[in-house]
Chain A
């Protein structure tokens, strides 16, 4: 038993149950230290409909502005991925009316040029870097916008693979660019127009269409339960 007791991770914060004072949309509340921002909302009795999605840091629904004690800097986070601390002040970002261009990705003739028709504001970036500072996923957003404008779609698609489309880069843009939407267009164009077609995939599709596996299917689907179970164990 004594040996087992040493096998416990120290978490003084769990035992202490220390309460901290935080401010939600300008109102003060006491909540347990270290819970996530989204849990703090539930803890203080608020119903959350808008402002929660996957709860795993992937969907961007819970984009939040926050400030820590005595620090004038307003930062951004995903509410499901951020722990509260004493003196923290936060508010969930409301949906922002950014303009998304509509396009048919497959029928684009010149995607790199089309960028300027779909998002004419994209080249007007004034280099303030606010978008990069606002990104909770630590993407160099400003650099991405410039690379998009200069036609380096490949780099953009790689840089924005982490983008959860929370849209926090958009309200801060003084040139009214929605960088996440620009990057989404660029990434899709990269995938649909500037990436090699995988030859092996087409071969496999053709094989299936031409009935290459017909005999094997006939054999497998004709087996009784036991035969099938035995056959499965031979697959290594």
Chain B
């Protein structure tokens, strides 16, 4: 059927739905729903990791293969460093920039290496906002409790307390750098309510929060003349005789040469795993989200936490084809947008946590109440025009300019017509286990941002990622810098890699996979048909 004909049911039921209140699920119902429909509970997608720090722990098969994968580096590579630094930051997203800026400000020599350009990251795409308890009726403790509830009570309490308490000072730092958060008429920060949160707590820069923060941080990294190694992908870490981290080896993607960097401390801010397309899901993640930091730290002996749980953002676009996987911001639901099935019914409280909302969408689709596309996808409607009906014409355009433009390019006006959505692979809830200073169990190896684990428990609350990046980027940068200026450069060896290879051999040779992946293999291999005209 014509898409407009199928959308009619959304228009026809809008007024009736506006009068409806959908209660949140009881804890029991919510657990049942998640266990039945959330992709984290699809047993066939998981297997135990055979060896290493998390031996016998289960994770998705795509990640297990990479963690057990071999390094591209030969045991006898010449380790004479081309660069020497106090602090080496790997990754150019939000956490990497924050780490580099704070380490630099404490007087350390910093190198920031990234496999794409400075700033190419998931951070730049964050639309929903940044949770910080600034409103008078809110508090860091409430932020803590909301996050804990969202994370199924599995969050590391110490990390979480640090994050919520440092939030307000992070907002101040960003404002002083020139970040333009939305304001109330009285000059105070405007806060929006996010899914799973009891109080309005989202600081926003319209629907460009991540972009605005990243524009400013990137500019600041350049202004502070932090040394950059762009298009340099980390392929192995370096360790000293005591197994402590002492640098990294990169592959320069422009000339394929190896670059050895000696560093007193290393901060991995390498982000998530969306481009592994776990369970075949499309993803909202950037091109380089291939879990490199997990593989590098795992070979070095760092323990991972919660790596069996991933976040599937409820609203990834399913139509048009070109936008598959792209995110339709949660902000739409924060402002009252309904989720509607093919029968024109709501089926979940739209502001429940992401795992609950995603599970309920999957349920609707599996039980035949979804809308299908000819390319074999299925989804439910997100009633975007409702926002204009509710808050006045022009609301969608004013509050979601990025979203409007993205769909407009394909001839779709989201202020007039609902969008078709289905969960998209969005975030790695777990990662490398860290302490409150962002350090791993491998000394002098820090991990910050999405690559780290523990903070978010089994489900990250919307808006907590941007804050995570800033807080733990800062703490890793400050700790690494303070440590580095008072210690000598350690030896550079590949002892950890030899140990890892020996262990891999003991468990039968590895899968033949080389990790980290660096970039997804999207390039088509078959030969092109000859064009004659």
A residues near B, CB below 8 A? 4, 6-15, 21, 28-30, 34-36, 39, 42-50, 52-59, 61, 81-83, 100, 102-106, 137-138, 157, 161-165, 184, 187-192, 195-202, 204-205, 208, 213, 216-217, 220-221, 225, 228-229, 231-233, 235-236
Contacts and interface: CB of A to CB of B under 8 A. Distances in A.
A53 B120 contact: yes
Contact of B146 (A39, A216, A220, A235): A235
A192 B172 contact: no
Interface of B: 1-3, 6, 27, 116-117, 119-122, 124-125, 133-136, 139-142, 144-146, 148-149, 153, 157, 161, 165, 168-169, 171-172, 175-180, 183, 186-189, 198, 205-206, 208, 210-212, 215-216, 218-220, 222-223, 225, 231, 253-254, 284, 286-287, 319, 321-322, 326-327, 342, 368, 370-375, 401-402, 405-406, 409-410, 420, 519, 522-525, 527-529, 531, 533
Contacts of A225: 153
Contacts of B205: 161
Given A15-B374, A138-B405, A220-B141, A232 B149 contact: yes
A59 B523 contact: no
Contacts of A8: 1, 371-374
Nearest to B205: A161
The 9 tightest CB contacts between A and B, nearest first, are: A188-B178, A196-B187, A191-B178, A53-B120, A192-B178, A11-B374, A54-B286, A42-B522, A14-B374
Give the secondary structure class of A's interface: mixed
A165 B120 CA distance: 11
A199 B188 contact: yes
A11 B375 contact: yes
Contacts of A196: 183, 187
Nearest to B189: A198
A9 B374 contact: yes
Contacts of B180: 157, 161, 187, 190-191, 195
Contacts of A217: 141, 161
A220 B144 CA distance: 10
B342 to A, nearest CB: 5
21 contacts: A8-B373, A8-B374, A12-B374, A42-B523, A43-B524, A45-B524, A50-B231, A54-B121, A55-B286, A59-B121, A59-B124, A83-B410, A103-B223, A105-B223, A187-B215, A191-B175, A191-B179, A195-B180, A213-B139, A225-B153, A232-B145
A188 B176 CA distance: 9
B116 A53 contact: yes
A102 B3 CA distance: 51
B177 A192 contact: yes
B154 to A, nearest CB: 10
B375 A4 contact: no
A76 to B, nearest CB: 13
B287 A54 contact: yes
A228 B326 CA distance: 36
Query: Which of B180, B220, B342 neighbours the largest number of chain A CB atoms within 10 Å of its CB?
Result: B180
Nearest to A219: B141
Contacts of A100: 219, 222
A80 to B, nearest CB: 9
Nearest to B165: A208
Contacts of A12: 374
A205 B3 contact: no
Given A21-B531, A58-B211, A232-B145, A7 B1 contact: yes
Contacts of B6: 7, 9
B120 A61 contact: yes
A11 B141 contact: no
B124 A47 contact: no
Given A204-B168, A205-B169, A213-B141, A30 B528 contact: yes
A190 B408 CA distance: 30
